[in-house]
């Protein structure tokens, strides 16, 4: 039997454990743990869920239950190095948010939530990014792209970008 | 005593009782419909089917003040003066809307769904739902998803009551089931590689109000409206869980737990739930057989002839020893001892082999599976004690027989599977008369001169006493195959009693002669009776 | 009522390095905290906040000081304070600005509130989509620990407090207080049934208060400038209505949508939508007129153009059939926008965000989205408007049919849109579905389009 290769690195585990004193039980580490793994791997594969569950003393189904609720963590494969959240809530929609999303998806040949084949870019609809003063806007990793037009967005998304926190 | 007013009707509840509105309304004969609430699980109030109007009646003035909005009956406790309204237009409209909402995306699977006939979605639709569909039409059939070795899931039939998920987290403590995703896209699932596979798995099928969770053992076997239900007790271990045996034309199709707050609550274990197949195993011994020499073929003896010839054989052999199986009822045990002593006044009476498998296992919700895999050791011991205070064990019997102190041995068994090997059986070789009364052939029947069929648990009528000294009585659910006389009928006839075997009469007779079993004298209520309390009284 | 001329809550906006502790102190920050710790009891702080008339800024407008008094007296602890920084109500962004530009103002409010409620730990639940706020807040927390305003025995007072950031994952329902609590505990964010209320049994089943970011900023300013200052701003309580707590203090109004100058503007509670749009907002964009205006985040519903003189205080929007003031996020929809598109956007949002726990919301939000999709696809019926109005009228905490208020928020735009703009819906349906608008029997569903 081939030994299962660990997904969680020692560094990830250390980061998770460092947060343990903040909470009175281990279950509260679930969401922070998912973020720590996701920040590193750009997704949380099923095997990672098993390891997180073991680390926290939970059943894998309990962690997966929480994970899938947020509709936020990719699981099958990593999302793009740039994860572009295109806002489609009312204030951005009133100023072209839906058209922006549709344009970008078409231009990069992906469906919403899809990743380009080179693994560089994921385009996802987002609900109200809280930047309605700069609608329509896009959150690309840590950067808020303001007052976007399709052309400005294309230019921005070509730029290399630091990974998300 | 606190008084609750349900649809204008006053009912009193106990001063110490903690009831919700559903439980209180039931006392007034009103059933508030509900899906997600279950007395054995946490309260989530998410289905919203139990929404009712409530209020309170001022104790001094009698004035009734109603809460201005609907509240879930399941999460609202009642106290003195609580007013419950279950039939106002507001309540009826709310129920109709919840039903409509659940049916919008429900597959039209009734013709192929096991749950038809016992489905709350169906029942409530007819009782509380709207006559016509208003939502868009998209007829479809449910996807099916394997969630474990014994349970299957029809994903789209699920109404998200989450009873099954809560069961695996709160009662079995195994947490295999989960909800995935969010909103109208939610589904029940298991984590890949971690199937629903615990010793209490089958209970989630009972809990499911609709046909989403299905029992693989029962799937497509029988329509529920053809089945009859008999109140029984599981014979799998000494817990003595109350069950219903569901059957049609003498065939068992499934077992379901029967609520018993003193024994099993609302649950049974999978071993008990699926432990009925042996009753219909074609390999069962179904004829009374006798042979002159060990090794020759059995000759079938007609049952009326068995009564006399068996007695003659045992009497002529002399020095009788009997194993009274802990699978037998109190009544059967008593009659067997009486028959034995009528043949040989010094017959050696022993409690039969007590099968043990593993340790007792208690689950987080409190449910316990016992390692003692027979239902009536305590009952049989109490009966044997009436005839011999020494209450010999199976090991004592083996020593007795090995010591050459018996010529005739009658072993009652009725175990659902193999229970002894050749080495253990060898102690009984070379007897003048060996009677083995069992379900299946074994190394022991290979040595027997008389091979008698035993009854399967659902073919038995009588009383068992569980590990907690609770006596439960039950009737015969299915008739044994091929005209087999169960032990009770054979012993009744061997005692020379007239007419059909009457276990109640025997039970009352036993109660008269036993201080330990005195509580068996009266009617036994459906949840049984605690023998120790009756003794103290 | 007097108006405030200088921004107070937004005093750090535009100030270089305004987010640092040095800048905050130079503006008078943390001195109030030191004074309170040196000479006041927790009960004094509760009394101060109660007297100020401060009402929660997160959307419900519940009197803050009163909420604090629901905590059990003499509880052995721990008591928790949760700061709701999950700001996700469409149109709302004032918390973001407060956290990015003046995190110490928020922090001082948190420390004062924790002192008042005897909380030993404050968890700041921050939505994922605010990475800049995350960095600014963490830096501010580190500065506060270094300065001795957080940690053990703060300033020798005997009071200890830890503040931790906890990051969300893009689910709107985590802004509901018990949804937030469930999320913090590591579970899916399904709001809890009440009772028990969080003050009795909240986070980790301990007494918990959940407060909004802007509310915390107000607490800091009340401590600095005084109760009288706070009460001098806004709309006083109606003397004829003993149940009216008034609408006191400055408010951050978010203005967005079809205006010339979208932005976050500080004004006394009670400014009207028209004043805000035409004043700070520079008017409806492109010289157009407003068709409809959301008064306080999409959940509050719609005001018509003729209703724009409604004061935006806690009582105003309700008088024109909206759900309430909500987050005071004003979104302008111009007269060239189809109200059908608006309602579709709203239904899509709520169907996506419904937590799915209780039947009326899970199925009602899904059903209404599908009807809007079918209407937009040119297969709508007049009958659909009746069904939508019924869903809008029956889904929510107010009739008692759901566990939390997301359903009320989903219902109100439907209710208002159908009632106030029915003509436009009818015209659209008749125009786009000339052969089928009159059908009353159920029609085949569109290919089911998920909201996700």
Tens of pLDDT, residues C135-173: 999 999 999 999 999 999 999 999 999 999 999 999 999
Closest residue by Cα to residue B509 from B459, B456, B462, B454: B462
Closest residue in A to B185 (Cα–Cα): A69
The residue ranges of every structural domain in chain C are 21-232, 249-334, 339-432
With a cut of 90, say whether residue A1 has pLDDT above it: no
The pLDDT assigned to C447 comes to 75
Distances (CA, A) of C169 to B183, C93, C187: 16, 17, 12
The pLDDT assigned to C451 comes to 43
Using an 8 Å CB-CB cutoff, list chain C residues near A69. Answer: 171, 188-189, 355
Closest residue in C to A136 (Cα–Cα): C257
Which of the four CATH numbers 3.40.50.10540, 3.30.70.260, 3.10.20.600, 1.20.1090.10 does domain C249-334 have? 3.10.20.600
Q: Mean of the per-residue pLDDT values for chain A?
A: 96
Order of all β-strands in the sheet with B144-146: B144-146, B151-154, B213-215
DSSP letters, C10-47, are: TTTTTSTTTTSHHHHHHTTTTHHHHHHHHH--HHHHHH
CA A2 from chain centre, in angstroms, equals 31
Length of chain B: 537
Using an 8 Å CB-CB cutoff, list chain B residues near C363. Answer: 101-102, 104-105, 184
- Determine contact: A70 vs chain C, CB below 8 A: yes
A164–C131 C-beta distance less than 8 A? yes
The pLDDT assigned to C324 comes to 97
Average pLDDT for residues B165-193, to the nearest whole number? 98
The pLDDT assigned to B483 comes to 87
Q: What angle do CA B410, B415, B418 make, to 5 degrees?
A: 100
> CATH fold of C339-432, please?
de novo design (two linked rop proteins) (1.20.1440)
Closest residue in A to C167 (Cα–Cα): A32
Can you read off the two tokens belonging to residue A165? 């926190």
C129–A133 C-beta distance less than 8 A? no
Rg (Cα) of chain A, in Å, rounded? 18
With a cut of 70, say whether residue C3 has pLDDT above it: no
Length of chain C: 452
With a cut of 80, say whether residue B113 has pLDDT above it: yes
Query: Residue B502 — very low, low, confident or very high, per pLDDT cuts 50/70/90?
Result: very high
Contact between residue B221 and residue B239 where contact means Cβ atoms under 8 Å apart:
no
Closest Cβ–Cβ partner in A64, A70, A71 for B191: A64
**How far B350 CA sits from the closest chain C CA (Å)?**
56
The pLDDT assigned to B292 comes to 81
The pLDDT assigned to C448 comes to 56
* Torsion angles phi and psi, residue B171, rounded to 5: -105, -50
Can you read off the two tokens belonging to residue B480? 């044994």
C446–B101 C-beta distance less than 8 A? no
The pLDDT assigned to C1 comes to 43
C264–A32 C-beta distance less than 8 A? no
Residue whose structure tokens are 């989530």: B44
Residue of A67, A85, A132 to mutate, interface with C, max C Cβ within 10 Å: A132
The pLDDT assigned to C293 comes to 98
Using an 8 Å CB-CB cutoff, list chain A residues near B175. Answer: 58-59, 61-62
Average pLDDT for residues B139-164, to the nearest whole number? 97
Q: How far apart are CA B461 and CA B458, in angstroms?
A: 8
Average pLDDT for residues B420-442, to the nearest whole number? 96
The sign one gets for the Cα dihedral C203, C188, A129, C352 is negative
DSSP letters, C328-360, are: -EEEEEETTS-HHHHHHHHHHHHHHH----SHH
Tens of pLDDT, residues B440-493: 999 999 999 999 999 999 999 999 999 999 999 999 999 999 889 999 999 999
- Determine contact: C327 vs chain A, CB below 8 A: no
Contact between residue C91 and residue C330 where contact means Cβ atoms under 8 Å apart:
yes
Which of the four CATH numbers 2.40.128, 1.10.10, 1.10.287, 3.40.1800 does domain A10-69 have? 1.10.10
Which architecture, in CATH terms, is A82-158? 3-Layer(aba) Sandwich (3.40)
The pLDDT assigned to C237 comes to 93
Q: What angle do CA B413, B417, B422 make, to 5 degrees?
A: 75
Closest Cβ–Cβ partner in A90, A91, A165 for C131: A165
C358–B184 C-beta distance less than 8 A? no
B175–A59 C-beta distance less than 8 A? yes
Residue with the bigger pLDDT between B1 and A54: it is A54
The pLDDT assigned to B482 comes to 82
With a cut of 50, say whether residue B355 has pLDDT above it: yes
A70–B182 C-beta distance less than 8 A? yes
Average pLDDT for residues B313-321, to the nearest whole number? 96
Q: What's the start-to-end Cα distance of chain A, in Å? A: 37
Closest Cβ–Cβ partner in A50, A60, A65 for B180: A65
- Determine contact: B175 vs chain A, CB below 8 A: yes
CA A137 from chain centre, in angstroms, equals 17
Q: How far apart are CA C434 and CA C421, in angstroms?
A: 20
Instruction: Please tell me the class of the C21-232 domain.
Output: alpha beta
Using an 8 Å CB-CB cutoff, list chain C residues near B136. Answer: 370-371, 374, 442-446
ipTM for the predicted complex comes to 0.97
Query: Residue C393 — very low, low, confident or very high, per pLDDT cuts 50/70/90?
Result: very high
Mark which residues 66-95 of C lie under 8 Å from A by CB: 78, 87-93, 95
Average pLDDT for residues B375-401, to the nearest whole number? 97
The residue ranges of every structural domain in chain A are 10-69, 82-158
- Determine contact: C335 vs chain A, CB below 8 A: no
Residue with the bigger pLDDT between B176 and C2: it is B176
Closest Cβ–Cβ partner in A25, A72, A90 for C169: A72
Average pLDDT for residues C12-31, to the nearest whole number? 97
Q: How far apart are CA C361 and CA C277, in angstroms?
A: 33
**How far A52 CA sits from the closest chain B CA (Å)?**
13
Residue of C98, C136, C169, C342 to mutate, interface with A, max A Cβ within 10 Å: C169
Q: What's the start-to-end Cα distance of chain C, in Å? A: 46
């Amino acid at each position: 039997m081939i030994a299962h290769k660990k997904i969680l690195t020692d560094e990830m585990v250390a980061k998770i454990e460092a947060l343990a004193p903040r909470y009175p039980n281990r279950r509260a580490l679930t969401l922070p743990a998912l973020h720590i793994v996701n920040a590193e791997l750009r997704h949380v594969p099923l095997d990672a869920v098993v390891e997180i569950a073991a680390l926290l003393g939970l059943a894998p189904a309990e962690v997966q239950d929480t994970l899938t609720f947020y509709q936020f963590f990719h699981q099958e494969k990593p999302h793009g190095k740039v994860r572009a959240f295109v806002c489609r809530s009312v204030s951005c929609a009133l100023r072209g948010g839906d058209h922006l999303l549709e344009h970008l998806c078409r231009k990069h040949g992906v469906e919403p939530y899809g990743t380009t084949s080179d693994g560089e870019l994921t385009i996802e609809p987002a609900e109200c990014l809280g930047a309605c003063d700069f609608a329509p806007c896009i959150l690309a990793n840590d950067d808020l792209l303001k007052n976007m037009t399709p052309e400005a967005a294309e230019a921005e998304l070509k730029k290399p970008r630091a990974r998300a926190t | 005593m606190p008084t609750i007013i349900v649809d204008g009707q006053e009912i009193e509840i106990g001063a110490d009782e903690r009831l919700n509105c559903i439980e209180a309304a039931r006392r007034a004969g009103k059933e508030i419909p509900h899906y997600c609430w279950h007395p054995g699980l946490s309260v989530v109030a998410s289905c919203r089917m139990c929404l009712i109007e409530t209020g309170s009646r001022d104790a001094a003035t009698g004035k009734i003040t109603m809460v201005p909005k609907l509240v879930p009956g399941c999460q609202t406790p009642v106290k003195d003066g609580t007013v419950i309204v279950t039939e106002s237009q507001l309540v009826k409209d709310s129920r109709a809307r919840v039903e409509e909402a659940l049916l919008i995306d429900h597959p039209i699977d009734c013709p192929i769904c096991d749950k038809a006939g016992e489905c709350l979605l169906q029942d409530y639709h007819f009782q509380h739902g709207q006559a016509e569909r208003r939502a868009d039409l998209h007829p479809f059939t449910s996807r099916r998803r394997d969630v474990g070795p014994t349970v299957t899931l029809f994903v789209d039939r699920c109404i998200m009551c989450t009873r099954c998920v809560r069961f695996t987290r709160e009662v079995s403590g195994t947490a295999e089931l989960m909800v995935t995703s969010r909103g109208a896209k939610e589904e029940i699932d298991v984590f890949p590689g971690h199937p629903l596979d615990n010793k209490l798995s089958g209970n989630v099928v009972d809990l499911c109000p609709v046909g989403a969770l299905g029992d693989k053992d029962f799937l497509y076997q029988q329509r529920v409206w053809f089945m009859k239900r008999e109140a029984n007790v599981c014979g799998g271990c000494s817990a003595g869980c109350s069950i219903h045996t569901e059957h049609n034309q003498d065939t068992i199709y499934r077992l379901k737990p029967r609520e018993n707050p003193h024994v099993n609550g609302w649950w049974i274990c999978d071993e008990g739930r699926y432990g009925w197949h042996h009753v219909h195993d074609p390999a069962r011994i179904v004829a009374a057989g006798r042979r002159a020499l060990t090794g020759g073929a059995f000759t079938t003896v007609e049952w009326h002839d068995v009564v006399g010839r068996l007695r003659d054989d045992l009497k002529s052999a002399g020095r009788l020893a009997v194993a009274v199986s802990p699978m037998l009822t109190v009544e059967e045990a008593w009659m067997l001892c009486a028959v034995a002593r009528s043949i040989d006044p010094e017959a050696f009476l022993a409690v039969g082999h007590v099968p043990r498998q593993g340790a007792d296992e208690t689950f987080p919700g409190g449910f316990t599976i016992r390692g003692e895999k027979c239902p009536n050791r305590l009952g049989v011991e109490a009966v044997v004690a009436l005839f011999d205070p020494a209450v010999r064990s199976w090991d004592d019997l083996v020593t007795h027989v090995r010591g050459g102190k018996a010529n005739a041995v009658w072993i009652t068994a009725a175990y659902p599977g193999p229970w002894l090997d050749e080495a253990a059986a060898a102690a009984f070789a070379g007897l003048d008369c060996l009677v083995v009364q069992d379900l299946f052939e074994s190394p022991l029947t290979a040595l027997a001169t008389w091979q008698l069929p035993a009854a399967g648990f659902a073919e038995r009528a009588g009383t068992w006493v569980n590990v907690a000294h609770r006596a439960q009585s039950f009737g015969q659910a299915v008739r044994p195959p091929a005209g087999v006389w169960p032990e009770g009928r054979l012993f009744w006839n061997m005692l020379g009693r007239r007419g059909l075997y009457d276990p109640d009469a025997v039970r009352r007779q036993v109660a008269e002669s036993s201080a330990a079993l005195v509580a068996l004298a009266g009617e036994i209520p459906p949840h049984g009776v605690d023998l120790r309390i009756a003794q103290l009284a | 009522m007097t108006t405030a001329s200088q921004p107070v809550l937004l005093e750090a906006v535009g100030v270089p390095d305004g987010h640092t502790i040095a800048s905050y102190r130079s503006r008078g920050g943390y001195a109030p905290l030191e004074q309170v710790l040196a000479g006041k009891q927790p009960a004094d702080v509760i009394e101060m906040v109660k007297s100020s008339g401060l009402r929660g800024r997160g959307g419900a407008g519940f009197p803050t000081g009163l909420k604090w008094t629901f905590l059990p007296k003499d509880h052995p602890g721990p008591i928790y304070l949760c700061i709701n920084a999950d700001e996700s109500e469409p149109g709302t962004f004032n918390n973001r600005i407060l956290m990015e530009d003046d995190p110490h103002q928020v922090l001082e409010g948190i420390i004062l509130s924790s002192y008042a409620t005897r909380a030993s730990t404050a968890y700041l639940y921050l939505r994922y989509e605010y990475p800049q706020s995350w960095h600014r807040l963490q830096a501010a927390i580190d500065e506060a620990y270094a300065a001795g305003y957080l940690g053990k025995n703060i300033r020798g007072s005997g009071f200890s407090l830890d503040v931790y950031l906890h990051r969300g994952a893009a689910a709107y329902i985590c802004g509901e207080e018990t949804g937030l609590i469930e999320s913090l505990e590591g579970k899916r964010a399904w709001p809890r049934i009440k009772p028990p209320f969080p003050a009795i049994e909240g986070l980790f089943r301990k007494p918990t208060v959940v407060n909004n970011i802007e509310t915390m900023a107000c607490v800091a300013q009340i401590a600095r400038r005084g109760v009288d200052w706070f009460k001098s701003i806004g709309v006083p309580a109606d003397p004829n209505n003993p149940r009216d707590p008034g609408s006191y203090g400055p408010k951050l109004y978010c203005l967005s949508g079809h205006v010339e100058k979208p932005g976050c503007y500080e004004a006394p509670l009670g400014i009207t939508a028209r004043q805000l749009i035409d004043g700070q907002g520079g008017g409806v964009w492109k010289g157009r007129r407003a068709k409809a205006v959301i008064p306080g985040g999409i959940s509050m519903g719609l005001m018509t153009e003729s209703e724009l003189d409604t004061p935006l205080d806690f009582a105003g929007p309700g008088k024109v059939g909206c759900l309430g003031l909500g987050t005071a996020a004003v979104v302008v929809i111009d007269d060239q926008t189809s109200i059908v598109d608006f309602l579709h956007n709203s239904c899509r949002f709520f169907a996506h965000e419904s937590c799915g726990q209780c039947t009326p919301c899970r199925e009602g939000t899904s059903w209404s989205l599908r009807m809007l999709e079918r209407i937009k696809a040119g297969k709508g019926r007049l009958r659909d408007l009746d069904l939508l109005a019924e869903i809008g009228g029956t889904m929510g905490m107010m009739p008692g049919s759901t566990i939390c208020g997301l359903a009320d928020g989903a219902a109100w735009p439907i209710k208002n849109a159908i009632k106030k703009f029915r003509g436009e819906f009818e015209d659209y349906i008749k125009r786009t579905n000339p052969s089928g608008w009159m059908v009353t029997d159920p029609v085949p569903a569109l290919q089911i389009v998920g909201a996700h």
